[in-house]
Structures are given as C-alpha cells and as structure tokens.
Amino acid sequence: MKQKKVTSPVRIAVFVSGGGTNLQALIDAQKEGKIRSGRICLVLSSSKAAYALTRANENEIPTAVADRKSFSNQEDFEAAIRAELEKHNIELIVLAGFLSILSPSFTRDWDRRIINVHPSLIPSFCGKGFYGLRVHEAALAYGVKVTGATVHFVNEIPDGGEIILQKSVAIHKSDTPESLQRRVMEQAEWKLLPRAVELVSQTMRTQNT
C-alpha cells in the first residue's frame, strides 16, 4: 500500500508593532484547529515595547525585534528582518498591525508570500497614510453606511495587492472612530485573518506536494 505523503505545516512569521490583537486572533485560531496548514513560528516586532511580544512569549512563540529607527537605512533594516526569517525557516509572512513599510525589493522577493489585513473594504480608505484610527475617521467623515476589513497579498503598492477575502460591517449613527474600530476588529478582522492564513497556507502546501 502506497503511503500518503505528509507535508509539514507552512512556517509563518507574524509582523507586529503594537498590542497584537490580530496576533491573538491567529494564536487562538491555531489552538482551536482553525489554522491547520500553517504554524506561527516567529513574531517579529518593529518595537521592543509592543505588547504583542508578551502575547507571543505567553504562548511560547519565538520573538525578534527590528526597530527601524535603530538602522541607518531601509536596506540594513530589511537585512535584519531577512536574517530572522532565514533563521526560523519562514515561508509565509502575515502583517498584523505592522507599521513599517517594506520596500518593493523585499515584497518582490516574497511575492504572494506576504499577506496583510486592512480595516476597510479596499479600494476605499486605503493606501499611504491610511492606518489605525485614521481609516475609521475617514469612513465616518465621508458618511459611508458600510465598512469592513480586507485581507490581501502585499506588493510594492500600499494596500494594492490582490484581495484574498473581505467582510462588511455596518456603520451605526452613534459610531465614533474608536467604537467602529472595535466592531470592525471583532466582526471582520479577527474572523477574516485566520481564514485567509489557513487558505493561503493550504494553497502553499498543495503547490509543494
């Protein structure tokens, strides 16, 4: 009888800069078996003060810090990142609130192997300068009735890569940027990101068999 080939889970690095709520959603999904085709093997932060590092440590996930301000140029910054990725044999990068921009050279080298979650329905309220509360402030100022979140592949254009998944979230008349941000995270980001990670990891494993 021919033995079935066993393929190891795709090795994932999650890039963070702050509290790590999306990281926590990924960790929880992995524990619950919703992410089976990949495994978080590294959490890399652009800030040594990021609470996301604590979340990683509490779950025994290796961590690394690459502070852009500590490097004289983008090339050295990304060289440090590349070294960590190589050290941990990373195959897929997930940007989860990572506030440092990656160069076109870096994204080309990781073509279709970097995904990002953005708190709007791309192509609305996205691109350079749209991050965090700014996205929700813009949505409320414009008066749209529906917003949401998007998971997409990362390329050289900020928020310009191919869309993987989207989920809409209704805007309430009483919303503030803070309340809208929270609801988008709870109803869209924390659900979409684990699904996208499993989907992309599954595809990568299939291609490698």
Which value, to the nearest 10 degrees, does the dihedral of the CA atoms of residues 47, 114, 38, 46 take?
0
Q: What backbone torsions phi and psi does residue 198 show, to the nearest 5 degrees?
A: -65, -45
Q: CA–CA separation, 20 vs 1, rounded Å?
A: 46
Q: What backbone torsions phi and psi does residue 29 show, to the nearest 5 degrees?
A: -65, -35
Kindly list the catalytic residues. Answer: 118
Q: Which residues contact 167 (CB under 8 A, 6 or more apart)?
A: 148, 149, 187, 188, 191, 192
Q: What is the CA radius of gyration of the chain?
A: 17
Q: CA–CA separation, 175 vs 114, rounded Å?
A: 32
